[in-house]
Amino acid sequence: MSTTTIYSLPNEILGLLPAFLDTIETLTIASSSCRLLRDNFATASPATILRLAAASAPTFFSPHPYFLVAATARQASEWAVGDARRTALLHEALQGGIDGLYEFCLAHAGLTLADIRRLHRARFAIVNPLCDRIDQMAGQQWDTTEDFWDGGVSEPNTLCTESDRSTFQIIIYGELFGRDMDAFLAAEGAPPATPVHGIATRLEYIKHCVPDWVCYGGYPGFAPPSRARGPYAPPVDPRDLPMDQHVLNHIFECRRWRRMWAGAMKMVSGDERDGEIELDANEEDWRTRLWREAFMTQGLWGMQLVTLPAEQVDKKWLAKARWMREQIRKLQGPFEMSQINEICHIGVSVAPDPSIEAAVCMRGRLRWDPSDSSD
């Protein structure tokens, strides 16, 4: 009687095995055991690979669930954009906070083994260096600077954050809405030729996935975040909520952040003047600000513009960065602003504008100082 081994099984059966495995580690270990399994497991569906990655997430894709959301948010966003029913589902997911968005991404995205390998490389080439830089702007390294309040840092502030969380909140914003920025730039001031997410979707992301106690009550013209589920749901005490919008607002306005992106601009253009910044962010030329916003909304892979030397940056990203610069130079003025609060004169760009959107969710206190009458 002959013995049955994996070599006697047809490829059609072997190709089904990944669906019955428990984690991505099991898949990779089995794939490395022999060429037969490696070749057949390479055909596993993206949905299966993502499910296995999710099962390994706390160990291999930390911080969880931010890392896997960053890896899949672009696909989930593209699934929803331009369809009212799907956009409503995205809004519902966003109202569940980062966990709600994670479940949405698991349902509407996938990963390949090649994606997993790229993500592993990105952690060391992009994510870790960016986390370190943000930690120097608003995290523990920044907060423990000697003589912090007496000149140790140029822009001291009272903040409480985890730099890796802030890093991924910025990256995920770009993964969700980076294609929208591309569409606005391609349109050269005209309405985009392809569907884009609206301001409401972007504000839902900031409100619920970048939670902050200051956003809890809302204000005239700005609905408070949902309390049915997610970070604001009872029995949460608003005083126990994080101050993540404060942190992003500080990062986006601080000189270190703007100087970091100015370095990328100079690298792309070769013009020394592009490497200079205004001490006051409010004094910036609108094109400079838009160019930075365009860069920083490109998601995970776009961040290599500030974490890698020019010779190591993917040439397609350098080419895209130059394209963005040229498109911005063609514009006759900033993108149209949509007024969301006539009393406080708060406007938001129709194109992605994370720095303004964070300030709006904070009731614009750092920029417009509206009244507190709604509390």
Q: Give the pLDDT mean for 315-320.
A: 96
Gyration radius of the chain over CA positions: 22
Domain ranges of the chain: 1-44, 124-330
Give dist(CA 153, CA 146) in Å, integer. 9
The answer to whether residue 179 scores a pLDDT higher than 50 is: yes
Bridge partners for 349 per DSSP: 337
Give dist(CA 265, CA 296) in Å, integer. 11
Give dist(CA 373, CA 350) in Å, integer. 28
pLDDT the model gives residue 147: 66
Q: Give the pLDDT mean for 71-97.
A: 98
Q: Which sign does the torsion angle of CA 141, 361, 230, 73 carry?
A: negative
Give dist(CA 70, CA 284) in Å, integer. 30
Contacts of 302 (CB under 8 A, 6+ apart): 174, 178, 295, 296, 317
Give dist(CA 322, CA 287) in Å, integer. 14
pLDDT the model gives residue 303: 98
- Amino acid residing at 113: L
The answer to whether residue 296 scores a pLDDT higher than 50 is: yes
pLDDT the model gives residue 222: 83
- Model confidence at 151, in pLDDT bands (50, 70, 90)? low
- Model confidence at 206, in pLDDT bands (50, 70, 90)? very high
Give dist(CA 87, CA 77) in Å, integer. 9
pLDDT the model gives residue 362: 86
pLDDT the model gives residue 138: 84
Q: Which of 17-21, 33-37, 150-154, 285-289 has the lowest mean pLDDT?
A: 150-154
The answer to whether residue 158 scores a pLDDT higher than 80 is: no
- Amino acid residing at 297: T
**Measuring CA to CA, which residue among 137, 156, 126 is closest to residue 314?**
126
Q: Give the pLDDT mean for 18-45.
A: 88
Q: For the chain, what is the mean pLDDT? A: 89
pLDDT the model gives residue 15: 84
pLDDT the model gives residue 12: 84
The answer to whether residue 372 scores a pLDDT higher than 60 is: no
Is the distance from CB of 21 to CB of 49 less than 8 angstroms?
Answer: no
The answer to whether residue 368 scores a pLDDT higher than 70 is: no
Give dist(CA 193, CA 186) in Å, integer. 8
Q: Which of 25-34, 91-100, 170-179, 251-260 has the lowest mean pLDDT?
A: 25-34
